[in-house]
Amino acid sequence: LPQTPVRAAMSTIQQLMIILNSANDTPSDNLLFYFNNCTVNPHEVIVKRIENMGITFKNKFAEAVGQGCAEIGSQRYKIGVRLYYRVMESLLKSEEKRLSVHNFSKLLNNDIFHISLLACALELVMATYGTSRNASQSMKVETDLSFPWIINILDLKAFELYMIVESFIKAEPSLTREMIKHLEGCEHKIMESLAWQQNSPLFELIKQSKDREGQADEPEPANY
């Protein structure tokens, strides 16, 4: 059958459903294994953060789309969290293989890592359902929920999301072409404009790399 916008959106949604049908709403046994291997066990903080961000997401979604759709926002968030845990597990497995490390305490206790991973998962869910919403216009929308809405409501810097996208795509081989194209589009928006806004962490990274280069250029003191 010819691919219409609605059909393309539906197949992406179905693909997302297939991916997440077997995913968990809470950390899997594998994830708990990694959490328990950490010097500082991040489990409680991770679960608490997901709860708190859930409240923020649902409130902002209802504000944007209409109070009558609060439950839809709740469902979207739930799907996003499943994808978040699923990709986290896959990321840790590949890092374990690549680095032969089992203790991911620093990474798993890094707030920015978790918020950017969750934001990436939620952006994908929003984009997948958003296209269908556009196609059906069934919901009253006060605010455009397309990117960068999700990083604004989660109070995440654009470049922080940028840092996770490639690893996210690598870690989740079942993403459809549309999903990957969408995330790539987000990357372009970030590098073309959002990453260059005031207070972006990109400026600090550029400064650090310049400092490193500067040190490399300075002649070594004689006592070396």
Partner 1 sequence: TQDYHFGLEEGEGISELFDCD
| Residues forming the site for partner 1 (CB under 8 A) | 91, 94-95, 98-99, 101, 104, 106-107, 110, 112-113, 163-164, 166-167, 169-170, 173, 175, 177, 180-181, 184
Rounded to a whole number of angstroms, the minimum distance from the CB of residue 27 to partner 1 is 17
Q: How far is CA 7 from CA 2, 11, 106, 131, 156, in A?
A: 9, 6, 43, 10, 32
Among residues 70, 27, 25, the alpha carbon closest in space to that of 45 is found at: 27
Cβ proximity to partner 1: between 135 and 169 the closer is: 169
Cβ proximity to partner 1: between 24 and 109 the closer is: 109
Residue type, 53: M
Residue 65 near residue 140, CB atoms below 8 Å: yes
If you ran DSSP here, which 8-state letter would residue 194 be given?
G
Q: What phi and psi, each to the nearest 5 degrees, are found at residue 152?
A: -70, -45
Cβ proximity to partner 1: between 13 and 112 the closer is: 112
Rounded to a whole number of angstroms, the minimum distance from the CB of residue 183 to partner 1 is 8
Cβ proximity to partner 1: between 131 and 176 the closer is: 176
Rounded to a whole number of angstroms, the minimum distance from the CB of residue 62 to partner 1 is 32
Rounded to a whole number of angstroms, the minimum distance from the CB of residue 165 to partner 1 is 9
Residue 171 near residue 87, CB atoms below 8 Å: yes
